[in-house]
Structure 1
Amino acid sequence: MGERDVVLPVVGLSVESLAESVLLHLPALTDALVETIYAQSPAYRVMDAVPRQDLWRSCHDNVARVVQMIADNDDRFDAAQATGRRRAEQRMPLDDVLKSFRLGGRLVWEAMIEEARAQGAVDSEALLDVASKVWEVVDRTSSQVAAAYHVAERQLVRADERRRSTLWEGLLHGRGKDRAFVQEAATVLDVPIDGRYLVVAIDNLVDDECTTSSFVRRFAAVRVASAWQVRPQTVVGLLALGTESLPKALGILRDVVHAPAGLSGVVNGLVEVNLAYRQAMLARRTLPAGQIDVAALTERLPEALLLSAPELAGQLVQTWLVPLTTVPASERDLLLDTLDKWVTAAGSVRRTADLAHCHRNTVINRLHRVHQITGRDVTEDGCQLELGLALRAFKLFPA
């Protein structure tokens, strides 16, 4: 006799015979367990994830296996493992699944007690031994359920992440025009199909999951739904503005983002997310190296245009500024700074002098020096637009 075998002190009465007797009432015991689970585990009713027939079959197979293991000490966990996998796929919380196994263990124990009493008197010590064996089997079975559940859960998470990544990449590369695709994307990402959207592209962050979760909470607080995707070099955010304004969203981003980033203009619906993504990436490129800020496309349109047409940007620099690179660096930087303030002051000598903190005659002398070096008279009408673009291009393409 094995060390776990238990024989009750009644002639012919053993754990095996009790188990065989309980198995004769398996359908009724299964019915009772299903009703107990519905009564004591509300998740099975509220979530409606497990069909009643599925629950009945699972209870039937697991009770049968538990009773058989109690009788012959032969570990057979096929039913438990199948239940663990299936409940994970059905998104049933593991705590509720394990609770159902504890309820089943209690019913099996009660059924065996009733059988023992029906077949003859037994002493309390023997009943305690049977109880120990029942709960040992239930514990081992529950461990197998949990293990199978966790394996399936990890597989589901990986599959969900792959599907989510596929949907993101599809949106960023123009599949938003496919109605079925965009509906699935909206469901999975939990954002509306239509409405006003922004896209933000942020240089990849440290502790991405924690950071993006905080972004979601921050925007949710102002009724802006958001979704985030961590890509190899960039964290991309999708902001469903609703009734909120672009400046407000930009203010939040500048408060929470501590890395170089670009923000698109407002686009209409998920169908235009690919356009917004290109805009966000373009806006990001307008930031000078080392500058940490959220560059909004609406604030940096000239720079974005220059980046979109690098040949024209180079021609502007060549025409207006390249000759200045021949003078000593200290003089060059002084003249470039004066030209920048000249453009900001809309060609006003007095305002330029105020901005440069110098006398107006100093400004005139510096502009004359620029004329000598470049051959271009910056005081002529109509030159400020080209000069301003040239100065921006020079910052974007310092080489």
Structure 2
Amino acid sequence: MTDDEQWLTLVDAVGRQLPGLVENFLTRILPDPAYADSGLTLEDLRRSSFNSFSAMLAALGGRAEDIGALSVFASELGARRARQGVPLDSLVRAIRLDFSVLWDALSAPELRADPALLVRKAEVVWATVDRFASSVQERYLRELEEIEGADADLQQQYLTQLLAPAEPSSADLSRIAGALRINPRAMFLVAAIDRNDGLLIRRRVRARPTRDFPVLTYDQGHHTLVIRPRAMDSNEKLSYQEAALFDDVAVAVAPHANGIEEVRTAVSAAREIMKDLPMGSKGVFTLRDRWLSITAHRLSQVGCNPENLVFSALGRCSDAERERLLEAARAFLELGSLVATADRLACHRNTVVNRLAAFEGYTGLDLQKPRDSALALLAIGG
């Protein structure tokens, strides 16, 4: 027999063992969490595996029509797995596994294949599997791009409704949550970033599995909003994945929104924090970080600048005394301790007491009382 005749006889023999090839493949692939958790049924995996091996074995026979059929099936599989949400790297890894399964079957001792023939045909087998994998990957990526485009358009449409000037009704909120496939009663992380960083963040979002890390993005004026549903028991601290998403950019994080109805308020808070940040800022900023600056700025905008309550009163003392009193007041507001303030200023504790008493005498603000200290913080900073 010629090499070609031996090879076709061997391929036909393996073709008669298709059920065994399928079960061998399933045994190897099912431990992969991406497949175990993908929601694919065992019947789906078994059927697609059977069809994949059938198409590859037919192509190994060398007929042009069978090679064309392999490409058609690969395209169908790539599109279907993209819609089913199977990660591409897991899909390609599974297809590469086909080579091992095929090769084990072709070189099985009971088939008594000529070792030299197997060596000569190894490249043919690998090229066939590789061609199949490339076709699957190409179609997968095209389908994913179409899905993401349609999802992005739909996402923007419903986020526009959620954040529109007219507040949506409860029924509207339920409909929006359903369309966005989010739990309306979830806790939501709401953040704002500079719009110039929006493209970078969206690329990072696309690089993460959406099942494990659902994130919505929305361009709004000078800012890009990032909205992510979280578990109800989540704390305010960013998770590792969230922190990585915002690495090396400035991000303003609002207090958590408890349910979709609070997202609008959280968006306003995130934008306010973002607008307050100095140029060139990097890192994560929360209301805890920026409340003092935001409040002082807002009060001054409506003619209620707290500085007027302090600096006009301190105008009655000398420049040197005013600096000493402000220095003591700022240190005490930061440290909250007479002893620590005395250490900071390298003076006696009684000196700090006297300076704070003088500060109260001029301004009427007792810095050991919470309400007075809060007003002083707004007026002179910590």
Which range, TM-score by smaller chain? 0.5 to 0.7
Q: Secondary structure at the match of 2:364?
A: coil
Amino acid in structure 1 at the alignment position of 2:57: V
**Alpha-carbon shift at residue 68 of structure 1 (Å):** 2.8
Which residue of the partner structure matches residue 88 of structure 1? 78
Residue pairs, 1:228-243, within 5 angstroms:
236=226, 238=228, 240-243=230-233
Amino acid in structure 2 at the alignment position of 1:276: A
Q: Which structure would you say has the larger Rg?
A: 1
Tell me the distance in 1 between the aligned counterparts of 2:104 and 2:188: 55
Among 57, 61, 69, the alignment partner of 1:67 is 61
Contact 1:226 1:237 in 2 (8 A): no
5+ unaligned residues in a row in structure 1: which ranges? 1-6, 9-13, 115-123, 217-224, 369-376
Which residue of the partner structure matches residue 222 of structure 1? none
CA-atom RMSD in angstroms = 6.1
Tell me the distance in 1 between the aligned counterparts of 2:378 and 2:292: 8
Tell me the distance in 1 between the aligned counterparts of 2:283 and 2:128: 55
Amino acid in structure 2 at the alignment position of 1:316: N
Tell me the percent identity. 15
Contact 1:61 1:79 in 2 (8 A): yes
Among 353, 367, 378, the alignment partner of 1:392 is 378
Which residue of the partner structure matches residue 194 of structure 1? 185
Call closer, same or farther: CA 1:164–1:134 in 2, change over 3 Å.
same
**Alpha-carbon shift at residue 84 of structure 1 (Å):** 3.6
Among 269, 272, 292, the alignment partner of 2:262 is 272
Tell me the distance in 1 between the aligned counterparts of 2:173 and 2:180: 10
Per-residue CA distance 1:113-155 (angstroms, 9 max, x = gap): 79xxxxxxxxx8xx55654554343222112122223334444
Call closer, same or farther: CA 1:353–1:273 in 2, change over 3 Å.
same
Tell me the distance in 2 between the aligned counterparts of 1:294 and 1:158: 31
Which residue of the partner structure matches residue 15 of structure 1? 4
Tell me the distance in 2 between the aligned counterparts of 1:251 and 1:335: 43
Q: Secondary structure at the match of 1:68?
A: coil
Matched, 1:40 2:38: no
Please give the TM-score of this superposition, normalised by the length of structure 2.
0.56
Tell me the distance in 1 between the aligned counterparts of 2:278 and 2:360: 26
**Alpha-carbon shift at residue 40 of structure 1 (Å):** 0.5
Call closer, same or farther: CA 1:167–1:105 in 2, change over 3 Å.
same
Matched, 1:378 2:363: yes
5+ unaligned residues in a row in structure 2: which ranges? 164-171
Residue pairs, 1:1-399, within 5 angstroms:
8=2, 15=4, 19=8, 32-42=16-26, 43=29, 47-48=40-41, 50=44, 55-69=49-63, 77-89=67-79, 90=81, 91=86, 93-100=91-98, 103-104=101-102, 127=114, 130-132=117-119, 134-155=121-142, 158=145, 175=162, 177-179=172-174, 181-183=176-178, 185-186=180-181, 192-201=183-192, 236=226, 238=228, 240-246=230-236, 249=237, 261-285=251-275, 295-297=285-287, 301=291, 303-307=293-297, 311-312=301-302, 314-316=303-305, 319-320=308-309, 336-337=326-327, 358=351, 362-363=355-356, 378-379=363-364, 392=378
Per-residue CA distance 1:318-366 (angstroms, 9 max, x = gap): 84468689x99987765655665798999xx9x9999976355555666
**Alpha-carbon shift at residue 67 of structure 1 (Å):** 0.9
Call closer, same or farther: CA 1:202–1:394 in 2, change over 3 Å.
farther
